[in-house]
Structure 1
Amino acid sequence: MILISPKVSKEWSFYLSIESIENLFVMKKYRVLVVDDEDLARELLIEYLKEDQRIEVIGECSNGLEGVKTVQDLRPDLVFLDIQMPKVNGFEMLELLTDPPEIIFSTAFDQFAIRAFEMNAVDYLLKPYPIERLSQAVDKAIERIEKKHTNELPVEKLVSDHDEQVVHVERIVVKSGSKIHIIPASDIRYIESQDDYVMIYWKNEHALKQKTMKYFENHLDPQQFIRIHRSYLVNISQISEIQQYEKESWILRLNGGEKLKVSKSGYRNLRERLSF
Structure 2
Amino acid sequence: MTDRRPTALIADDEPLLRDELALMLAQVWPELLVVAQARNGREALAGVEALQPDICFLDVQMPGISGLEAARQIGRRAHLVFVTAFDHYALKAFEHGVLDYLVKPVEAARLAETVARLKERLRMVEVPGPGIEVMLRQLAGLLQRREQTAGIGAAPLRWLRAGVGQSLRLIPVEQIDFLRADEKYTLVAWRSETGQPAEALLRTPLKELLPQLDTACFAQVHRSVVVNLSAISHVTRGLHETADIHLKDRSEVLPVSRSFLHLFRQM
The TM-score range, normalised by the shorter chain, is: 0.3 to 0.5
Q: Which has more radius of gyration?
A: 1
Q: Which has the higher contact order (CA 8 A, sep 6+)?
A: 2
What's the TM-score once normalised by structure 2's chain length?
0.47
